[in-house]
Chains A and B, each alone.
Chain A
């Protein structure tokens, strides 16, 4: 039997708004993915360590505090340093449109802004996340 896609849903920084992260974690689980949720207040270092230890295929970062411009690139940088940059990083939260190009350039594969239906995120994962080699 083929292994399920494994996704780490992570809440970086001091931001406590976890409603979206939990709804998406539940939605992904119901869609048949394996979901690990970090809980709140994780540093980029902790998130990358968890992703490697749990051998996930992707990391979904949720952030609503405005710290995305620091935290997203930091996670990607750390993955690269650990030789784990084949783990796909995507994210969601309160992220102004004009910030998205810079995040994509830094290596974030998709950003889901407020109002995205759960199924749209699921569809994107099915089409874009493959098992790591």
Chain B
């Protein structure tokens, strides 16, 4: 970035500055013995052109919409189109959640995102003993197509895109979405959205798992293969770092483990015989935006740069769209505090700003009360307004990648990239991510980071306002509560659906899924047929549990 003679001059001037500084520090030392990011990465007091001496603008930074995409995936970024404001929502039953969807869309939200309740996430119906105490609490209860029909009442599926945070039963919920669209008269070729469908990070972090890793991967590749041919606007997977970070990983671990997961999916799809350029443009990513502002921006920029190299150099993708890392961001739930909850509005705003400066394609902002429960309408409105103020008042969306060229941000981007590559190499040596997960490697690395962080918080070395510093009492806030009649209604509806459907047809459909699961035929068409006949989430998942066996938590700590 700089000529030799310029660098020599800077070096000389810096020497003088350092001498002056050390005199000052003798009298008034720095506030802390060590300055570090929230991931415990040490940072210097000053960055200069010297830190950028190995960076080549054209090779490493380049232009937006061009390889290696450090500055963003679109040539015009937010000047062309703002990021999608997509609030993760699901509460009680489909009726309550449908109402929330309409509320958010009426308040300027631009995309939908569904939070399912735990039984659905884990492949159980509301009437299962496993669902006791959990119905409608952490998201919306969906047992059958009937629930999905209610969920999307009045929502035109050709106009709005929907993201679904769903993993072991991802193919089932996608199938239901396809059939709901069909009933609205919309072809599956026109619908757009995302299923999370990323099982590897479930074993590592989010822990909604059901089947062992290898059969899980097979079902994922079935969905990729099917959507590539039949649902061309669908993002077949959202390769997620969010949960890895929330489980306690550092920024570098989040990035490296996510990209290594992504590599495992690409390999699995290529082994199936798919052409990389046919499916890679529909892979999408999902990251956390944590509280350490510059570290996060560096992480997002490094993510794009690494992925483009992986896709072009390792997997020989030819289509530039295959090289692009497009991502959704959620502000960090784990950075929020139950203490003095109104402070969470401020944390979320900074995190959202980092996501936007990092070039995110869509964003969820957490609500102030999410350390307690699903957000109230009032809380979620503030969170949505936070994005709208950012987009339309602050001016940060006027210029593309405004922090490029910052000595600190560029140096940090390169450092995050280098450290992520080290992890990726280590995982390669273990035989890839599936093998690494089977030996518990990423799980143990994250547990270690989480414990170190907690110790730093407990000792006061890392400050959390309202928790270990500036502690004051705060009055309790009003939180959302699940009403017991919602549970009764959900159970009643499930019973009615089971009584009124054609049970012979359901059985036939389930038998076909069993047969396809035992063989190698793509499961998707069979799943779509089954949900159309109102087969339940659990009925399909039970077939898989029977055919493939269950995965149980090894409980590393």
Report the minimal beta-carbon distance from A73 to chain B, rounded to whole angstroms: 10
Residues of A within 8 A of B553 (CB): 11, 18, 39-41
Whether A96 contacts B557 in the complex (CB less than 8 A), given A39-B552, A43-B130, comes out as no
**9-residue interface stretch from A52-60, A64-72, A78-86:** A64-72
CB pair A94 B118 closer than 8 Å: no
Within 8 A of A (CB), among B237-260: 246-248
Within 8 A of A (CB), among B468-513: 468, 476, 479, 482
Report the minimal beta-carbon distance from B452 to chain A, rounded to whole angstroms: 10
Residues of B within 8 A of A16 (CB): 206-208
CA distance A89 to B124 in the complex (A): 28
Residues of B within 8 A of A96 (CB): 372-373, 479
CA distance A67 to B132 in the complex (A): 8
CA distance A41 to B247 in the complex (A): 17
Residues of B within 8 A of A97 (CB): 476
Whether a CB of chain B sits under 8 angstroms from the CB of A15 is yes
Whether A114 contacts B338 in the complex (CB less than 8 A), given A14-B122, A96-B479, comes out as yes
Whether A19 contacts B248 in the complex (CB less than 8 A), given A65-B118, A66-B137, A119-B458, comes out as yes
Whether a CB of chain B sits under 8 angstroms from the CB of A128 is no
Whether a CB of chain B sits under 8 angstroms from the CB of A26 is yes
CA distance A114 to B344 in the complex (A): 14
Whether a CB of chain A sits under 8 angstroms from the CB of B80 is no
CB pair B130 A115 closer than 8 Å: no
The residue of chain A having its C-beta at the shortest distance from the C-beta of B208 within the complex is A16
Residues of A within 8 A of B447 (CB): 22-23, 26
CB pair A23 B133 closer than 8 Å: no
Interface flags, B310-337, vs A, CB<8A=1, else 0: 0000000000000000000000001001
Instruction: Select B338's contact among A11, A14, A70, A113, beta carbons within 8 Å.
Output: A113
Within 8 A of A (CB), among B509-557: 552-557
Within 8 A of B (CB), among A33-49: 37-41, 43
Residues of A within 8 A of B118 (CB): 13-15, 65, 67
CA distance A67 to B468 in the complex (A): 28
Residues of A within 8 A of B403 (CB): none
Besides A67-B134, A114-B371, 20 other A-B contacts (C-beta < 8 A): A13-B118, A13-B133, A13-B134, A14-B118, A14-B122, A17-B207, A18-B247, A19-B247, A19-B248, A22-B450, A39-B552, A41-B553, A43-B129, A43-B130, A94-B373, A96-B373, A96-B479, A98-B476, A117-B457, A117-B458
**A residues in contact (CB < 8 Å) with B:** 11, 13-19, 21-23, 25-27, 37-41, 43, 65-67, 69-71, 94, 96-98, 113-115, 117-119
12 contacts between A and B (CB under 8 A): A14-B208, A16-B207, A19-B247, A22-B450, A26-B451, A26-B557, A39-B552, A67-B134, A94-B372, A115-B464, A118-B454, A119-B458
**Which 5 interchain pairs have the tightest Cβ spacing?**
A70-B133, A39-B555, A16-B207, A39-B553, A67-B133
